[in-house]
C-alpha cells in the first residue's frame, strides 16, 4: 500500500476557547480548516513556531477531540514527528495547546501535514 499526500494546513494560534488551555494560545484544526473527506487519514507531521519563554521551555500538547495524544518541548522553530501518526476521521478536531500566554505578542503557528493509505 502507498501513502497519498493530502497536503498541509497552516493555522495561526488564537486565544484558547476550549477551556482546557485558559489564558494561552491554541491552534485548532477543525472540519472547516481540514476540509478532508477521506474515511480516515493521518496527521503525520507538524511544523511549529512559538516564542521562547523567559524562565521556561515552550511546550505543546496535541489532542484529538477531547483526548490528549502527545506532548513535546519546543524552541522558537521546531518540527514534531510522532512515533505513531494520529489517525483522524472527518468531523474530528485536532487541538495544539501552547503554554504561551496570550499576553505574548508573538503568536504561535502550526503547519500540519496529512496523508491517507491507499
CATH number, domain of 19, equals: 2.60.120
Q: What confidence score (pLDDT) does residue 78 get?
A: 66
Q: Is the pLDDT of residue 111 over 80?
A: yes
Given this model, what pLDDT does residue 76 score?
A: 60
Mean pLDDT, the chain, integer: 91
Domain count across the chain: 1
Over residues 12-32, the mean pLDDT reads: 97
Q: Retrieve residue 29's grid coordinates.
A: 484544526
- In tens, the pLDDT along 40-96 reads 999 999 898 998 888 788 899 999 998 999 888 776 666 666 678 999 999 999 999
Among left, alpha and beta (phi > 0; psi -120 to 50; other), residue 49 is beta
The boundaries of the domain holding residue 74 are 3-117
In angstroms, the Cα distances linking 115 to 20, 36, 57 are 28, 10, 30
Amino acid at each position: 500500500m502507498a501513502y497519498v499526500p493530502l497536503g498541509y494546513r497552516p493555522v495561526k494560534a488564537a486565544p484558547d476557547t476550549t477551556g482546557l488551555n485558559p489564558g494561552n494560545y491554541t491552534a485548532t484544526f477543525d472540519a472547516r480548516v481540514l476540509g478532508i473527506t477521506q474515511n480516515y487519514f493521518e496527521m503525520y507531521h507538524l511544523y511549529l513556531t512559538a516564542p521562547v519563554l523567559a524562565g521556561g521551555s515552550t511546550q505543546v500538547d496535541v489532542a484529538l477531540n477531547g483526548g490528549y495524544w502527545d506532548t513535546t518541548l519546543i524552541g522558537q522553530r521546531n518540527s514534531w514527528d510522532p512515533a505513531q501518526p494520529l489517525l483522524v476521521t472527518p468531523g474530528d478536531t485536532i487541538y495544539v495547546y501552547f503554554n504561551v500566554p496570550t499576553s505574548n505578542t508573538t503568536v504561535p503557528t502550526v503547519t500540519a501535514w496529512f496523508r491517507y493509505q491507499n
